[in-house]
Structure 1
Amino acid sequence: MKICCLLPSATEIAYAVGLGDEVAGVTYGCDYPLDARQKPVIVHSKLPRKLSASEIDQQVHEFVERGESLYRIDTEALQRIQPDLILTQELCHVCAASPDDIASALETLPNTPKLLTLNPHTLSDVWNNIREVGRATGHDEEANALASLLEERVREVSRLVTGRPRPRVVCLEWLDPPYIAGHWVPDMVEVAGGLDVLGHIAEPSFRTDWKAVLAAQPEVIILMPCGYDLQETVDEYATWDGPNDWTTVPAVWNDRVFAVDATSHFSRPGPRLAEGVEVLASIFHPDSVPDNWFDGRASRCSVECGRIR
């Protein structure tokens, strides 16, 4: 079977259930596991490189207003591969290529491949997506075992933090302008023993303003810009022009603003979300969980950011 993955999380799932050798095409963003970087790229971003956060937001807004996709499908590469199965998504047409993006490309193929559309909104949905990929590829046993293992990891986190006071949490999916993380992220916060005061489980991420963030008086702020790794997030915060009165927020003056690896543990609805839950628990309740859940996976951010310095 030849499989093409139109989003990084699908690539991760395919590899995790033992389909690495059958992955024949990936996107420009499929960087995990490392072997995925050697696969033919069939989806490219139209956004210029090295844009600031505000410039990226503006470019995305302009594409959406024009009704234009952010992605380019390499039709010739797809024709060479002749895939049997394409893994795609309908959750967010900004975050990854969608069935609409590939519709015209499919018309050029002599045989129409099977499409499996992943549309997760909660952690349970993500684990069930893993099982769906297993069923579609004859890897039911591997997929069921992986999903069950991930479910147990998350249950263990819940057991460790049960009865602990829940801190008020805000998860920022973007900084300029501010976006509140949605879908599975508030679910992760709840399981990890926090109270997401702005995000809602299974509901989309949304743009907000700093007035709303400040008014929420979060005790913990998690910086998880979509598509950023840990170091990129730390660097973004270091040069960011924070809002006036930033230091009046409890999370800020109590030194509980944290950068995380959004790409690995939060942005992509795949197996590594379980690790993201562990990271959050280590931030919310460090005395209740193993120390190594935090080490190298998150970074405490100084009160100082671009504007404050």
Structure 2
Amino acid sequence: MQGVVHMQRVVSLLPSTTEIVHALDCGDRLVGRSHECDHPAGVTDLPVVTEPKVWLEGDSGAIDRQVKAILEQALSVYKVHGEVLRDLAPDVVLTQSQCEVCAVSADDVQRAVDDHLDGHAEVVALEPNGLADVLGDIRRVAAALDVADRGERLARSMEQRIEAIRDRTASLPRRRVVTLEWIDPLMAAGNWMPTLLEAAGGEELFGVAGAHSPWLDWEAVRAADPDAIVVLPCGFDLERTRSEAEQLRNLPGWSSLTAVTTGRVALVDGHRFFNRPGPRLVESTEILAEILHPDTFPPRYRDGAWEPMS
């Protein structure tokens, strides 16, 4: 009698890793998710393994103050439901070690695995600081799922598609860009974003590729007078971004910036695209190219993933 084949059981605690698992055609192995995993369709039916310790409310300034108050007490922003994790009995748990504000920490995940699964699960903690790291993390997830060849194909496909955009923008004017990953206080986008911008025909003025996103001084932004501004607050969809961006109008000198007077301020759905270091960074690059060079790139994503600030 043939033995029963064990189907690998995977818990993904990041929206990006959930999307990576599906892009590797391994979605049927997922048995649990984070409270933020919402794509692709059907993922929200999975049991939820994490939640914020405090449900953050208010505008971006209020959320920033709440998060900082939690971190100042040396507390974690999120918690793991250990009993749910135990009942799901995963073989692999996907998490991150890059940002304690973005998702549950790798230390908390490892502690939950040790306490509730006797350490009998592989914890794969990703740290995607730049685009090359994102591609490497795709390969790491694929290796953990024993589909390394699929991971290689996916990573190479992403590289080729981004390179194709870079080729199309090579002869176009380079737009000087300020990206706003948070509004109050102001923060530029670092990590993989400067690389995507470069491929899309832009130059990030403050964020540095491979480095954490830096806080911004508004007077420095005024002095830089960017050609374009892309507003993509972390975790905010387009509707929420539209609402939050209104406070930018109150900044001194906002109305006289070149990006404002020429109509090159774009509001973006960062939650679905730019903030998730996974397969949709290709679409994110296409969106940037569309924003910066509308005469060359048709408006495929406008009014769904981004819109001009009116």
TM over 0.5, shorter chain: yes
Deviations along 1:51-110, one digit per CA (max 9) or x if unpaired, are 221110001111111111000110110110111111111111111112111233122223
Kept in 1, the 8 Å contact 2:56–2:63? The answer is no
Is the partner of 2:11 in helix, strand or coil? Answer: strand
Code of the residue aligned with 1:115 in structure 2: it is V
Q: Which runs of 4+ in 1 moved over 6 A?
A: none
Kept in 2, the 8 Å contact 1:177–1:209? The answer is no
Work out the CA distance in 2 between the residues paired with 1:241 and 1:70. 31
TM-score normalised by structure 1 residue count: 0.94
- Residue 118 of structure 1 is matched in structure 2 by 126
Is the partner of 1:86 in helix, strand or coil? Answer: strand
1:62 aligns with 2:69: yes
- Residue 149 of structure 2 is matched in structure 1 by 141
1:266 aligns with 2:271: no
1:76 aligns with 2:83: yes
Aligned equivalent of 2:233, options 210, 221, 225: 225
Code of the residue aligned with 1:106 in structure 2: it is V
State the 1:240 CA deviation: 5.2
State the 1:245 CA deviation: 1.1
- Residue 158 of structure 1 is matched in structure 2 by 166
After the TM superposition, which of the residue ranges 271-280 and 286-295 deviates more from structure 2?
286-295
Percent identity, please.
Answer: 38
Backbone CA RMSD of aligned residues: 1.5
Deviations along 1:269-306, one digit per CA (max 9) or x if unpaired, are 0100100000001111112223325452210002xxxx
TM-score normalised by structure 2 residue count: 0.93
Is the partner of 2:164 in helix, strand or coil? Answer: helix
- Residue 46 of structure 2 is matched in structure 1 by 39
1:284 aligns with 2:292: yes
Work out the CA distance in 1 between the residues paired with 2:146 and 2:298. 36
After the TM superposition, which of the residue ranges 15-24 and 218-227 deviates more from structure 2?
15-24
- Residue 305 of structure 1 is matched in structure 2 by none
After the TM superposition, which of the residue ranges 224-233 and 121-130 deviates more from structure 2?
121-130
- Residue 19 of structure 1 is matched in structure 2 by 26
Kept in 2, the 8 Å contact 1:160–1:289? The answer is no
Kept in 2, the 8 Å contact 1:154–1:277? The answer is yes
Kept in 1, the 8 Å contact 2:177–2:228? The answer is yes
Is the partner of 1:93 in helix, strand or coil? Answer: coil
After the TM superposition, which of the residue ranges 202-211 and 256-265 deviates more from structure 2?
202-211
Kept in 2, the 8 Å contact 1:258–1:300? The answer is yes
Change (3 A) 1:89 1:111: closer
State the 1:254 CA deviation: 1.1
Work out the CA distance in 2 between the residues paired with 1:161 and 1:297. 21
Question: Please, which runs of 5 or more residues in structure 2 have no aligned partner?
Answer: 1-7
State the 1:33 CA deviation: 0.8
Deviations along 1:3-43, one digit per CA (max 9) or x if unpaired, are 11121111111111011111111111001112111111001
- Residue 170 of structure 1 is matched in structure 2 by 178
State the 1:48 CA deviation: 2.1
- Residue 3 of structure 2 is matched in structure 1 by none
Aligned equivalent of 2:109, options 84, 90, 102: 102
Change (3 A) 1:57 1:111: closer
Deviations along 1:146-174, one digit per CA (max 9) or x if unpaired, are 22221111011001101211111000001
Kept in 1, the 8 Å contact 2:178–2:188? The answer is yes
Deviations along 1:110-148, one digit per CA (max 9) or x if unpaired, are 352111111112222212211111111112232222222
Change (3 A) 1:50 1:159: same
Aligned equivalent of 1:52, options 19, 38, 59: 59
Question: Please, which runs of 5 or more residues in structure 1 have no aligned partner?
Answer: 303-309
Kept in 2, the 8 Å contact 1:189–1:196? The answer is yes
